[in-house]
A and B are shown apart, each in its own frame.
Chain A
Amino acid sequence: MILKLTVPIHVKYFAGIRDRMGRADDDIDADGLKTVADVWARVAGDEPLPRTVRVAVNLEYADLKHQVKDGDEIAFLPPVTGGCDAG
């Protein structure tokens, strides 16, 4: 018997997305997941990803077709609002 060791994919949610998910992060098994879009479907079920949300893979912006693998850190980021004036 071959024991398969996997490192989970770490998924992070920020700001409004975190409020919506009701949690800050998840660790999920990479089995059966090919892309970032698959990761979203696994964590959010039927809920579509809001169009304004951006994705980062291992601290770099990426798109939904980006391939994922064991140990990746995937983040879902609402529109950013840093810098000066609040609006």
Chain B
Amino acid sequence: MRVEVRHGEFNPWEELQRHQQASLLPNGRHGAIASFVGTMRDFNEGDSVQAMVLEHYPGMTEKYLGEISAEAKKRWDILDTLILHRVGELQPGDPIVLVAVWSAHRAAAFEACRYLIEELKSRAPFWKKESLQEHSRWVQHNTPAASNRGGR
């Protein structure tokens, strides 16, 4: 289980590989890895977004992400988790977040990965400030999960 808040760019695919190499999971134990990568869009609420600054609550963020990782491990039969979230200034297209789950079977991996990203989005103390053409603004709310809109 690893949780990290990173200042500066990261490559999610390299991070996945690095975590797997460094983890103590013996080869062959996991049959499934589910991963989610969130990237920055260049539009929001009809406006073109030039850049974004992400801030967080140091201490509480890591604690909260550690708690949801532990909760996922309790709820599903999974072997390992990784959550990496970026803060600071971002450009459109940059990866913002990586969530990955290792397990023996795909169902647990998918479900735990979905759980982690939804919990992160709804409660982890991160805030986005967007730079638009003329001004900047704090983003007021997150997009709901598709299942909350009734779509699947």
Contacts and interface: CB of A to CB of B under 8 A. Distances in A.
Interface of A: 12, 14-16, 19, 56, 59-61, 75, 77-87
Given A16-B138, A79-B141, A87 B45 contact: yes
A71 B40 CA distance: 38
Given A12-B57, A86-B139, A87-B45, A80 B40 contact: no
Nearest to B52: A86
Interface of B: 36-41, 44-45, 49, 52, 54-57, 59-60, 63-64, 85, 96-97, 117, 120-130, 138-143
A15 B85 CA distance: 17
Residue of A59, A61, A80 with most partner-chain B CB within 10 A: A80
A80 B97 contact: no
A78 B38 contact: no
Contact of B39 (A77, A78, A84): A84
B121 A82 contact: yes
A81 to B, nearest CB: 4
Nearest to B118: A83
A82 B138 contact: no
Contact of A81 (B41, B45, B139): B139
Contact of A56 (B45, B49, B57): B57
Contacts of B143: 85, 87
B44 A80 contact: no
Contacts of B129: 15
Nearest to A56: B60
B57 A77 contact: yes
B141 A81 contact: yes
Contact of B128 (A12, A59, A75, A86): A86
A82 B45 contact: no
